[in-house]
Amino acid sequence: MTKLTLGTHPYLLGFEQLERLVERTAKTGNEGYPPYNIEQTSQNSYRITLAVAGFSEDDLAITVEDNSLVIRGRQADDSEGRIFLHRGIAARQFQRSFILADGVDVGEAVMENGLLHVDLTRKVPESVVQTIKIRRTGK
């Protein structure tokens, strides 16, 4: 018996990209830092919230690359000339990626009390009915 995958199922035409997308999602390399929430704020909008305490707006970069929302954080090392008896707050960098479906647009990004909020909206496609004319071949 042959195993069918999404890209090879006979009723799913043109979905080869979906299988590659699932593989790409598994390889994003997202670790547990920084923690984040994803909430649905309406039927066609979402909000991603990342806990970025210690980062300023200048330490963060938000880009959309090949249908991926990429949020990067990099803090400058300000420890020069300082003597720490204990250093439990790490100044570390991160990259967090989220794959976006077609038609999802990234809106506003807002910093509030150490949280970065990124709003997303999904465009609702119009329902299109297309009638295909059947051509008769001559005999």
Averaged over 64-81, what is the pLDDT? 89
Instruction: Round to whole Å and give the CA distance between 73 and 57.
Output: 9
Residue 38 has pLDDT above 90, yes or no: yes
Q: Are residues 43 and 66 in the same domain?
A: yes
DSSP state of 57: G
Q: Are residues 49 and 85 in the same domain?
A: yes
Averaged over 73-99, what is the pLDDT? 86
Helix, strand or coil, per DSSP, at residue 100? coil
Q: Is residue 135 part of a domain?
A: no
Beta-bridge partners for 83: none
Q: Is residue 130 part of a domain?
A: no
Q: Are residues 67 and 3 in the same domain?
A: no
Q: Are residues 77 and 47 in the same domain?
A: yes
- Return the pLDDT at 18: 67
- Return the pLDDT at 69: 96
Q: Is residue 114 part of a domain?
A: yes
- Please tell me the total count of domains within the chain: 2
Q: Are residues 43 and 84 in the same domain?
A: yes
Q: Are residues 19 and 57 in the same domain?
A: no
Range of the domain at 87: 31-122
Q: Are residues 39 and 78 in the same domain?
A: yes
Cα dist from 64 to 22, 38, 96, 131, whole Å: 18, 17, 12, 36
- Return the pLDDT at 1: 56
- Return the pLDDT at 122: 94
- Return the pLDDT at 21: 66
Averaged over 76-84, what is the pLDDT? 83
Q: Are residues 66 and 78 in the same domain?
A: yes
Task: Tell me the two tokens of residue 61.
Answer: 């970069």
- pTM value is 0.72
* Phi and psi angles of residue 16, each rounded to the nearest 5 degrees, phi first: -60, -35
Q: Is residue 40 part of a domain?
A: yes
Q: Are residues 66 and 18 in the same domain?
A: no
Beta-bridge partners for 98: 69
Q: Is residue 131 part of a domain?
A: no
